[in-house]
Amino acid sequence: MKKKLIRTTFTTSREMAFSSEKELVTQTGHEVREWPFVIVKELIDNALDACEEAGIAPVVHITADASSITISDNGPGISESTLAAALDFTIRASSREGYVSPTRGAQGNALMTLFPMPRVVDPAGGRMIVEVGGKRHIIAVRADPISQRAVVNDDVSEIPKSKKTHLDSNEIKQALSSGTSVRIEWKQIPSVDGITKWPFDEIVVGGANSDAERFTRRFRDLCIGFAMFNPHLTLHVDWFGERLGRGPAAIGQGQWFSAQTRNNTFLEYQKGLTKCLEKIRDATSSQEKSYPAYPLRGLMRECESYLDSMEFILNEA
Strand-strand pairing, 234-239 and 59-65? parallel
What would be the CATH architecture of the domain defined by 14-246? 2-Layer Sandwich (3.30)
Phi, psi of 303 (to 5 degrees): -60, -45
Computed from CA positions of residues 217, 29, 186, 154, in that sequence, does the dihedral angle turn out positive or negative?
Answer: positive
Check if the beta carbon of residue 315 is closer than 8 Å to that of residue 245: no
In Å, what is the CA distance from 117 to each residue of 120, 123, 232, 251, 260? 5, 10, 30, 39, 33
Q: Is 237 helix (H, G, I), strand (E, B) or coil?
A: strand
Q: How many Cβ atoms sit within 10 Å of the Cβ of residue 32?
A: 19
Rounded to whole angstroms, how far apart are CA atoms 131 and 182?
7
Check if the beta carbon of residue 56 is closer than 8 Å to that of residue 75: yes
58: nearest Cα among 45, 69, 70, 68: 45
Query: Mean pLDDT score of the chain, rounded to an integer?
Result: 77
Rounded to whole angstroms, how far apart are CA atoms 12 and 16?
7
Ranges of residues in the chain whose predicted pLDDT is under 50: 98-99, 164-176, 247-260, 317
Structure confidence at residue 47 (pLDDT) = 92
Per-residue pLDDT tens over the stretch 205-225: 988 888 999 999 899 888 888
Check if the beta carbon of residue 109 is closer than 8 Å to that of residue 221: no
DSSP labels for 85-131?
HHT-TTS---SSTT--S--S--SS-HHHHHTTHHHHH-TTT-EEEEE
77 residue type, one letter: G
Rounded to whole angstroms, how far apart are CA atoms 88 and 97?
17
Rounded to whole angstroms, how far apart are CA atoms 69 and 82?
22
Q: pTM of this prediction?
A: 0.69
Rounded to whole angstroms, how far apart are CA atoms 216 and 205?
7
In Å, what is the CA distance from 275 to each residue of 72, 271, 280, 301? 41, 6, 9, 14
- Structural domain boundaries of the chain? 14-246, 259-316
